[in-house]
């Protein structure tokens, strides 16, 4: 049997190379390389403290794993890994055996199955990506709130829409905060998903029922930052809930990004003219010299839909799957990783493109009251004068229809006629966009006072989530190196997804 495989003693024929290739997940899980090394290092601790290996073997294994980590960090390991192995986990095991001259590498897999190895490695990977996803979401919150401060200071107005029809005047800062809220919720989802990856450590569960070897499961659990060893081996090896929670958080964040991207695509059209995307984030046409296309936002919009499908596929691989490990879970892993990696790239691209958006304040201010957007304020004034909501709605609707026939905005004369119809002496209501915005008085409204409060509250929430991330990860000393090595192998996985 091939020395690169982790099995074969009971077989008398070589495996079909084409079927081994079909079953290989290497191109999908290269991104797990650095995390698998950490899992293996922790397993060495379990073997050593359980007195299953002696000190000489422990030193040899640790030295070999350190070299593998260096090779991953340097980007050299991928070439070795592709030499006939089934997955990244088997590749690392094979390389360790190669690096140990006296056979110590053959002890690395004692008491361990790829089942608990993969389950643990996925949790470490998911934890790191959840942290990065939270950081990316909070960066978008920061960008949007900083822009909101600028536009609040400038007093930029906007005609807020529903159904893409003129609705009510609002501050552009109000819209920017609304956009930021979704990413603040995304950051919370990433935080919850990250916590789920820390609850229990599958390492030491073996293939399905634990081990007769005296493995120390507590030490590696602490070493890897888990709260405790998993309490049921059969569940632990087949449980993919946490990694799917991380994938879900990326899908939801991408959907939030797609909604903002879709609106900005329209705002950048000359017909709207609300915004312009800078040269660095725009593309041109191979035929039409005048074109400036907001391609990054269009790709964000499309990718969110793609990720939704990929995530649904990952969930579907679990439908009807019996307990414990089944090879179907390899597809779960592949689809979850694809969702997370592509989702992470989408968030980063969205943030970069967002920084290139420039708003046309003059045009936004000029159109803020178009489409009779102050009509609701007039109806509210009638209600305050004692007119029922239903009648006020009907009265103002007729006034709008009349003004529309005469091709003019609502004016003081309309207020006088409405006051007369309502039987009141005067009717005081906003007729311009800024007066409408300033007249709002409810919590969470577009009034400048409420917008300032929202900005302050979001800043506190962002700071809290950022500090919480640091507090919850004090013992992950290898976090920076793990992130670097994951980034180094990310290129291979990204190229594969593009292909």
Distance in angstroms (rounded) separating the CA atoms of residues 230 and 218: 10
Distance in angstroms (rounded) separating the CA atoms of residues 162 and 166: 7
Closest CA to 4 of 21, 269, 12: 21
Distance in angstroms (rounded) separating the CA atoms of residues 373 and 41: 64
CA distances from 218 to 56, 157, 315 (A): 22, 59, 31
- Spot the catalytic one: 200, 285, 447, 467: 285
The DSSP letter of residue 283 is B
Backbone φ, ψ for residue 356 (5° rounding) = -90, 0
Distance in angstroms (rounded) separating the CA atoms of residues 346 and 446: 30
Q: With H, G, I as helix, E, B as strand and everything else as coil, classify residue 357.
A: strand
Indicate the burial class of 229 (C-beta count within 10 angstroms; 0-12, 13-18, 19 or more): buried
Structure tokens at 197: 């990856």
Which DSSP string do the residues of 128-151 spell out, in sequence order? HHHHHHHHHHHHHHHHHHHHHHHH
- Spot the catalytic one: 40, 45, 113, 163: 163
Please list, in sequence order, all residues whose beta carbon lies within 8 angstroms of the beta carbon of residue 421, skipping any fewer than 6 positions away. Answer: 395
By DSSP bridging, strand 157-162 and strand 165-171 are: antiparallel
Structure tokens at 470: 């640091």
329, 334, 336, 341: CA torsion to nearest 10? 160
Distance in angstroms (rounded) separating the CA atoms of residues 368 and 236: 57
Q: With H, G, I as helix, E, B as strand and everything else as coil, classify residue 253.
A: helix
Distance in angstroms (rounded) separating the CA atoms of residues 343 and 348: 9
The DSSP letter of residue 372 is T
Per the annotation, the verdict on 163 as an active-site residue is yes
Closest CA to 25 of 328, 346, 341: 328
State the residue for tokens 């888990």.
226
What is the CB neighbour count within 10 angstroms for residue 314? 24
Residues annotated as part of the active site: 163, 285
């Amino acid at each position: 049997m091939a020395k690169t495989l982790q099995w074969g003693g009971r077989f008398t024929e070589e495996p079909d190379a084409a079927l081994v290739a079909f079953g290989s997940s290497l191109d999908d899980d290269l991104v797990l390389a650095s995390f698998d090394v950490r899992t293996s290092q922790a397993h060495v601790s379990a073997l050593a403290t359980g007195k299953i290996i002696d000190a000489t073997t422990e030193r040899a294994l640790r030295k070999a794993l350190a070299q593998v980590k260096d090779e991953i960090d340097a980007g050299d390991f991928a070439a070795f890994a592709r030499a006939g192995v089934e997955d990244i986990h088997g590749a690392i095991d094979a390389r360790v055996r190669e690096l140990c001259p006296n056979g110590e590498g053959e002890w690395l897999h004692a008491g361990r199955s790829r089942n608990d190895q993969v389950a643990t490695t996925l949790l470490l990977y998911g934890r790191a990506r959840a942290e990065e996803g939270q950081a990316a979401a909070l960066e978008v919150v920061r960008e949007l709130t900083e822009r909101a401060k600028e536009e609040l200071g400038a007093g930029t107005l906007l005609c807020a829409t529903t159904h893409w029809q003129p609705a009510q005047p609002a501050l552009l800062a109000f819209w920017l905060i609304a956009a930021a809220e979704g990413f603040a919720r995304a950051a919370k989802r990433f935080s919850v998903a990250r916590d789920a990856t820390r609850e229990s450590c599958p390492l030491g569960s073996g293939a399905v029922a634990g081990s007769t070897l005296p493995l120390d499961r507590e030490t590696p659990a602490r070493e890897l930052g888990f709260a405790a060893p998993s309490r049921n081996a059969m569940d632990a090896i087949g449980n993919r809930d946490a990694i799917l929670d991380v994938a879900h958080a990326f899908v939801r964040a991408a959907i939030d990004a797609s909604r903002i991207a879709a609106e900005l695509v329209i705002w950048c059209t000359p017909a709207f003219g609300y915004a312009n995307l800078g040269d660095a984030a725009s593309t041109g046409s191979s035929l039409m010299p005048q074109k400036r296309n907001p391609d990054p936002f269009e790709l964000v919009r499309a990718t969110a839909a793609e990720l939704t499908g990929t995530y649904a596929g990952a969930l579907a691989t679990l439908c009807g799957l019996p307990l414990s490990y089944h090879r179907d879970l390899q597809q779960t892993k592949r689809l979850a990783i694809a969702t997370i990696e592509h989702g992470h790239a989408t968030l980063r691209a969205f943030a970069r493109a967002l920084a290139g958006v420039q708003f046309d304040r003059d045009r936004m201010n000029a159109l803020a009251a178009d489409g009779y957007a102050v009509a609701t304020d007039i109806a509210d004034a009638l209600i305050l004068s004692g007119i029922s909501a239903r009648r006020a709605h009907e009265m103002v609707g007729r006034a709008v229809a009349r003004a529309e026939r005469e091709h003019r905005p609502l004016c003081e004369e309309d207020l006088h006629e409405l006051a007369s119809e309502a039987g009141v002496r005067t009717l005081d209501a906003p007729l311009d966009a800024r007066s409408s915005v300033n007249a709002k008085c409810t919590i969470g409204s577009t009034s400048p006072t409420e917008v300032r409060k929202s900005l302050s509250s979001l800043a506190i929430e962002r700071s809290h989530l950022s500090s919480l991330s640091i507090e919850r990860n004090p013992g992950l000393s290898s976090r920076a190196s793990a992130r670097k090595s994951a980034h180094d192998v990310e290129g291979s996985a990204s190229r594969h997804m593009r292909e």
